[in-house]
Amino acid sequence: MRSVAINVGANTNEPGFRGPIYDDGRFEYVPIPESEPMDTEATVPTYGDLDLHVDVSSVADVPVHLDPTFAGVHGSELYTYGDPHGVKARPLLELEAGDFVFFYATLSTAGSDPADWIAPEWGTYVIGHFRLGRDPLSAADYHDLPPYGKEVFSENAHCKRERFDADVLLYGDGMGSELYDIAVPLSSRAAGVDANRLVTDCSSDSGKGPWWRRPMKFDAEGTEELLEIHDARAHERAFR
């Protein structure tokens, strides 16, 4: 078992703000805006269509690039992810069915009394994961699928674009994939720019420079530790 963690979600470049993380570690998954022309028959939500508590009035009419999709979140029914960038696609294509993909986002600290593991101002946090229900697909693999096979990815933003452009497509097993209730920190509690030991000791990344933008590889031990931390936080919240 192995995994790759990749950056997703709203940031200070797109659309100009990050999603929030609240005092108890809950957060909001806010996608980036859609940047490409979409198929004329595609249904694409706007920021105003999403069930968000963060203020999106400045971009309410802007279509979102809803990717990854999590079942039961923002109108999605399946777990899918696509990416057109080789720096992310290459490590993802090395994975196999049963491996994991973790999604992390930079989040702005909201509230007045955050938990002691939440970084001041902003930080980087794992917000969900997929257990892959099938081997990752390259663009060629996707084009070779029969129409009924492509239907699995019909919710994915890259498959809704006027020109399909994903170099990799992922499908998450519905029994082993989820958007978290409580985030798992990758930043230190001192500062968002400082990586904690999950990055520096457990992943392939050095934690130097803008580590929060790079894909990170985890071996079996690192993958298991990430899953155990998530499970512990979920269990703690369930019995409060």
pLDDT in tens, 93-116: 999 999 999 999 999 999 889 999
| pLDDT value at residue 159 | 96
Alpha-carbon distance of 186 to 212, in angstroms, equals 9
Burial of 176 (0-12, 13-18, 19+ CB in 10 A): middle
| pLDDT value at residue 111 | 84
Q: Say if residues 57 and 46 touch (Cβ distance below 8 Å).
A: no
Q: Where are the domains of the chain?
A: 3-238
Global confidence as pTM = 0.96
| pLDDT value at residue 239 | 45
Q: Which residues of the chain have pLDDT under 70?
A: 235, 237-240
| pLDDT value at residue 155 | 94
Q: How high does pLDDT run on average in the chain?
A: 95
Alpha-carbon distance of 39 to 88, in angstroms, equals 24
